[in-house]
Chains A and B, each alone.
Chain A
Amino acid sequence: MSVLTKQASGAAANLAAPGGKPSRARGKRTNQRSGYLFLLPWFIGMLFTIIPFFASLYLAFTDYNLFTEPNFVGLANFQAMFEDPRLLQSLKVTFIYTFVSVPISLAVALLIALVLNRGLQGLAIYRSVYYLPSLLGGSVAIVMLWRYIFGNDGIVNGFLGLLGIEGPAWVTDPEFALSTLIVLNVWTFGSPMVIFLAGLRQVPAMYYEAASIDGASRWRQFRSITLPLISPIIFFNLIMQLIGSFQTFTQGYVMSGGTGGPADSTLFYNLYLYQKGFTEFEMGYASAMAWLLLMIIAIFTAINFIASKFWVFYDN
Chain B
Amino acid sequence: MALLELPLKNKQKKDVPAEDALTGTTGTRFSRHLILCLVGLVMLYPLLWLVSSSFKPSNDIFRQLGLWPENWDFSNYEQGWTALNQPFHVYLINSLIVVVFSIVGNIFSCALAAYAFARMEFTGRKLFFALMLGTLMLPGHVLLVPQYIIFSQLGWLDTYLPLIVPNFMATNAFFIFLMVQFMKALPKELDDAAQIDGCGPFRTFLRVILPLCVPAMATTAIFTFISTWNEFFGPLLYIQNQDLYTVPLALRAFMDSEGQSMWGPMFAMSVVSIAPIIGFFIAGQKYLINGIATTGLK
Chain A residues engaging chain B, CB cutoff 8 angstroms: 1-2, 4-12, 15, 28, 30-32, 34-42, 44-46, 48-49, 51-53, 55-56, 59, 64, 66, 112, 115-120, 122-123, 126-136, 138-142, 144-146, 148-149, 151, 153-155, 158-159, 161-162, 187, 191, 194-195, 197-205, 208, 212, 232-233, 235-237, 239-240, 243-244, 246-247, 249-250, 253-254, 257, 270, 273-274, 277-278, 283, 286-287, 290-291, 293-294, 297, 301, 305, 314
Contact A32 B196, beta carbon cutoff 8 Å? no
Contact B43 A12, beta carbon cutoff 8 Å? no
Contact A35 B252, beta carbon cutoff 8 Å? no
Most buried by A among B36, B140, B145: B145
Contact A250 B233, beta carbon cutoff 8 Å? yes
Q: Is B259 an interface residue (CB 8 A)?
A: no
Question: Chain B: which residue is nearest A204 at the CB level?
Answer: B18
CA distance A52 to B143 in the complex (A): 5
Q: Is B82 an interface residue (CB 8 A)?
A: no
B54-79: CB near A (< 8 Å → 1, else 0) gives 00000000111100000000000000
B261-298: CB near A (< 8 Å → 1, else 0) gives 00100110011011001100100010011001100111
Contact A8 B169, beta carbon cutoff 8 Å? no
Interface-located stretch among B96-104, B109-117, B210-218: B109-117
B208-228: CB near A (< 8 Å → 1, else 0) gives 000000000000000000100
Question: Chain B: which residue is nearest A247 at the CB level?
Answer: B139
Give which listed residue, A134, A136, A141, contacts B298 with CB less than 8 A: A134
Contact A247 B169, beta carbon cutoff 8 Å? no
- Which residues of the other chain, B, contact A202 by a CB distance below 8 angstroms? 8, 11-13, 18
Give which listed residue, B65, B176, B184, B232, contacts A253 with CB less than 8 A: B232
CA distance A242 to B108 in the complex (A): 30
- Which residues of the other chain, B, contact A129 by a CB distance below 8 angstroms? 40, 43-44
| Cβ < 8 Å to A, chain B residues 113-150 | 113, 115-116, 118-123, 125-126, 128, 131-132, 135, 137-150
CA distance A47 to B148 in the complex (A): 15
**Cβ distance A23 to chain B, nearest Cβ, rounded Å:** 14
CA distance A205 to B20 in the complex (A): 8
Question: Chain A: which residue is nearest B291 at the CB level?
Answer: A194
Total of A-B residue pairs, C-beta within 8 Å: 339
- Which residues of the other chain, B, contact A257 by a CB distance below 8 angstroms? 255-256
CA distance A225 to B224 in the complex (A): 37
Given contacts A59-B146, A139-B273, A199-B8, 4 further A-B contacts (CB under 8 A): A35-B201, A48-B166, A55-B149, A140-B248
- Given A46-B131, A117-B19, residue A201 in contact with residue B169 (CB < 8 A): no
- Which residues of the other chain, B, contact A151 by a CB distance below 8 angstroms? 62
Question: Chain A: which residue is nearest B193 at the CB level?
Answer: A11
- Which residues of the other chain, B, contact A28 by a CB distance below 8 angstroms? 121
**Cβ distance A286 to chain B, nearest Cβ, rounded Å:** 6
Contact B137 A301, beta carbon cutoff 8 Å? yes
**Cβ distance A153 to chain B, nearest Cβ, rounded Å:** 4
Contact A199 B7, beta carbon cutoff 8 Å? yes
Most buried by A among B131, B188, B266: B188
**Cβ distance B64 to chain A, nearest Cβ, rounded Å:** 8
Give which listed residue, B44, B170, B263, contacts A148 with CB less than 8 A: B263
What would 13 A/B residue contacts be, using CB atoms closer than 8 Å? Answer: A1-B118, A48-B169, A112-B36, A115-B32, A120-B36, A132-B44, A136-B277, A139-B248, A204-B18, A208-B18, A232-B7, A236-B7, A293-B141
- Which residues of the other chain, A, contact B36 by a CB distance below 8 angstroms? 112, 115-116, 120, 126
Contact A1 B145, beta carbon cutoff 8 Å? no
Question: Chain B: which residue is nearest A41 at the CB level?
Answer: B109
CA distance A31 to B116 in the complex (A): 10
Q: Is B29 an interface residue (CB 8 A)?
A: yes
Q: Is B27 an interface residue (CB 8 A)?
A: no
Q: Is B86 an interface residue (CB 8 A)?
A: no
**Cβ distance B221 to chain A, nearest Cβ, rounded Å:** 14
Contact B170 A119, beta carbon cutoff 8 Å? no
- Which residues of the other chain, A, contact B155 by a CB distance below 8 angstroms? none
Contact B112 A140, beta carbon cutoff 8 Å? no
- Given A118-B21, A202-B8, A232-B7, residue A42 in contact with residue B146 (CB < 8 A): no
**Cβ distance B14 to chain A, nearest Cβ, rounded Å:** 9
**Cβ distance B231 to chain A, nearest Cβ, rounded Å:** 9
- Which residues of the other chain, A, contact B11 by a CB distance below 8 angstroms? 202
CA distance A37 to B109 in the complex (A): 11
Give which listed residue, B144, B171, B293, contacts A195 with CB less than 8 A: B293
Question: Chain B: which residue is nearest A138 at the CB level?
Answer: B230
Contact B230 A198, beta carbon cutoff 8 Å? no
**Cβ distance A272 to chain B, nearest Cβ, rounded Å:** 11
